[in-house]
Structure 1
């Protein structure tokens, strides 16, 4: 039997998170066949890992338009647009119903282990663009399979690769040896087992972004009912006007309030700050407790636990045989990186982007969602929804629609605190906040500067 024509093959989407499922919805809307491969057992597996954390964005800002159209015939009722969902709410009330609506276009227990051109490793030029992709997967029952695809949209995110304690981007000396006392996620203190881990203990919280604020706020609440609970907040920079975000001036009230809670935790004595502390090593003292050492020789008083919230980075290992064009610093697509580089941009100066900025030397391979931002710390769900709308249009041959980015932007306001990314150390460590708020819809060309304020 002859192999099917490339344009009859599915578009493989890696990951069933919000951006991956939105990609599938846009592909369906365009008459294309998606196949979503999810390593977990349910939609939004990574989102479910932080189900206890509340989003800063409202429901109105985290539901994709094409997805909503797909959901409408199922009787799905959109949650109150002004309410703030938790990660669990997002997964159960939106992502899982959307995956269910897509039916057999979503496959669970399928871990992507490799992507390549059929019969061509990354070195071979001859006939490359005419070949379909082979997507290698490992199934939950231990089998290996290969799927043939016309295009690959990688929406697997960065959740699986948290950044380490070390200030140089590598694990601190001794970090692995004390791993049982190091966590890389915001703890769910409603879980009795997790709560017992931190109750009455001294915990170092490394990082200065919204996740660190959340951990500090949670530990401060625990300190009010559990004597001896204390957080040691480790910042690689100093405390300045923008350290706690925008406060009451923040366009996202929930985010501003969280920053104020972190500030209150310090002022109330539930947390103490160690500033300009670049961790080089972690040691155990004579009692088995953990001591963090800085590059400048400082040693912190012993702590019992460490929570590392210094950002995430993309897993590019399964894309080794395709030709990606990535920025050498951010590991983001080369054309996108200058637009999102936190060393020079705040979220208010990021230009709109779509298929052109997300393309690679390897035709029809795209990194989308948080993975497209590489190590840049600021990302919006609605940015990802726009990315996949543009890509789906391009794959359908509608280049005009692909290049007409319909971007939803906040009108104005505080984006993560004044001068948040003025300090390169904050960008390097992945520390920093997100950005969005009351939206206004603009239609502008890809790469065109935004003339008005906004994020």
Structure 2
């Protein structure tokens, strides 16, 4: 019976849709469940942000084989925005998959049929039950032979608090704190920030993108003040490789942020780990660090400190996750920024991603847990391998079919507080760029 059941894929983003294309090509029936009302809905939320990865590194091989016979035209140009990625690739791909993608369907839990996580009997033979809630409030259970969780981490941004928990007063001030790069081409958002004191927290590419945007806003509205709060002790390599960067768009972003700081448009506050957010009687906020330092008279905060996986709806499954990263144990040593200030993540698949719960896999950004750096191409190789394994082709599942350029995995605990060593790869030329929305300090 299990052979007739679908493989449920959670999330109609880049990796989830690639998984469906791979499964379909293998003769398996995918069923993609997406909480949003369109493909790539999370991507559309950062539609104004331009990726550093060029188009060829954003298109999954199996997806191309599905799309090209339909008359779909491969996008031209180099680095798309989130909007272009969703409109020109993800939505056509979902349309090509047809009824295999269900929108407005939120997964609320997954379990082994008739068994909670304590029960051993039947775990190898009983199918999975996927509990969902439709946009109209109806609840349903779907029986599945396997589960690929490609739901990502976009829905779970890290808090402003420097210890991984919300700072004191952070929840109370939630209306004044944004956790994504604001779209300052939106008139309402420009009006919200113009002429105000804005604090940007974080040191990844998302933070640099926000700093450049706010520096431009300050140029038009001189009363706008921008403070950059960094957890690390120095700015160090936060600006990247500049003109030496093999990706011109990334290098240009770092140089523009550096110029904005050097020109006085941005005030830099280093070694600042937020412990409290105080709301003043005049309506402004004060950020207080663990060391007692204060950033006062703050109107708005943009916290760009990364993302984390939501594991709550997987609570009845037996998962083997790294205690630090919340990533699959076999994958964690390859991506842990506490161990590797710089490193190369080789293509990996079912061997590293398989869980103790039979037929359950984490893929895409979800598989990286709290690690900050992820390549779309890596996710496409993950789901190629998973689909091969589910189809019984173990040789193909364990065969590497992707050669990735080297890329630094940077920003561990040591890098937060100390400058990078001279000659480290973080500031040197690198290959393909991780998607910037996942960057954290």
Is residue 24 of structure 1 aligned with residue 20 of structure 2? yes
- 1:214 alignment partner in structure 2: 209
- 2:61 alignment partner in structure 1: 65
Mapped partners of 1:214, 1:378: distance in 2 = 16
Query: What secondary structure is seen at the aligned counterpart in 1 of 2:49?
Result: coil
Q: Do the aligned residues in 1 keep the contact of 2:348 with 2:400 (CA within 8 Å)?
A: yes
Mapped partners of 1:199, 1:212: distance in 2 = 18
Mapped partners of 2:413, 2:101: distance in 1 = 42
- 1:406 alignment partner in structure 2: 401
Root-mean-square deviation (Å): 1.8
Q: Do the aligned residues in 2 keep the contact of 1:57 with 1:437 (CA within 8 Å)?
A: no
Query: What secondary structure is seen at the aligned counterpart in 2 of 1:20?
Result: helix
Mapped partners of 2:210, 2:245: distance in 1 = 20
Higher relative contact order (CA 8 A, sep 6+): 2
- 1:449 alignment partner in structure 2: none
Query: What secondary structure is seen at the aligned counterpart in 2 of 1:160?
Result: coil
Mapped partners of 1:348, 1:168: distance in 2 = 25
Mapped partners of 1:421, 1:142: distance in 2 = 42
Q: Do the aligned residues in 2 keep the contact of 1:242 with 1:420 (CA within 8 Å)?
A: no
Among residues 348, 351, 359, which one is paired with 1:364 in the alignment? 359
- 1:88 alignment partner in structure 2: 83
Mapped partners of 1:291, 1:25: distance in 2 = 49
**Shift of residue 222, structure 1, vs aligned partner:** 0.8
Aligned in 2, Cα 1:436/1:69: closer, same or farther, shift over 3 Å? farther
- 1:204 alignment partner in structure 2: 199
- 2:6 alignment partner in structure 1: 10
Query: What secondary structure is seen at the aligned counterpart in 1 of 2:120?
Result: coil
**Shift of residue 393, structure 1, vs aligned partner:** 0.4
Any stretches of 5+ residues in structure 1 without a counterpart?
Answer: 440-455
Aligned in 2, Cα 1:220/1:409: closer, same or farther, shift over 3 Å? same
**Shift of residue 302, structure 1, vs aligned partner:** 1.5
Is residue 160 of structure 1 aligned with residue 149 of structure 2? no
Among residues 250, 254, 258, which one is paired with 2:253 in the alignment? 258
Q: Do the aligned residues in 1 keep the contact of 2:233 with 2:417 (CA within 8 Å)?
A: no
Mapped partners of 1:334, 1:380: distance in 2 = 19
**Shift of residue 350, structure 1, vs aligned partner:** 2.2
- 2:96 alignment partner in structure 1: 101
1:93-132 paired onto structure 2 within 5 Å: 93-132=88-127
1:41-80 paired onto structure 2 within 5 Å: 41-80=37-76
Is residue 40 of structure 1 aligned with residue 36 of structure 2? yes
Any stretches of 5+ residues in structure 2 without a counterpart?
Answer: 419-425, 434-441
**Shift of residue 438, structure 1, vs aligned partner:** 5.8
Aligned in 2, Cα 1:132/1:426: closer, same or farther, shift over 3 Å? farther
Is residue 292 of structure 1 aligned with residue 287 of structure 2? yes
**Shift of residue 421, structure 1, vs aligned partner:** 4.1
Among residues 117, 121, 129, which one is paired with 1:134 in the alignment? 129
Q: Do the aligned residues in 1 keep the contact of 2:344 with 2:408 (CA within 8 Å)?
A: no
**Shift of residue 407, structure 1, vs aligned partner:** 2.2
Mapped partners of 2:363, 2:236: distance in 1 = 33
Aligned in 2, Cα 1:108/1:437: closer, same or farther, shift over 3 Å? same
Among residues 296, 299, 307, which one is paired with 1:312 in the alignment? 307
Q: Do the aligned residues in 1 keep the contact of 2:168 with 2:276 (CA within 8 Å)?
A: yes
**Shift of residue 436, structure 1, vs aligned partner:** 6.4
Mapped partners of 1:87, 1:422: distance in 2 = 30
Query: What secondary structure is seen at the aligned counterpart in 2 of 1:273?
Result: strand
Q: Do the aligned residues in 2 keep the contact of 1:409 with 1:436 (CA within 8 Å)?
A: no
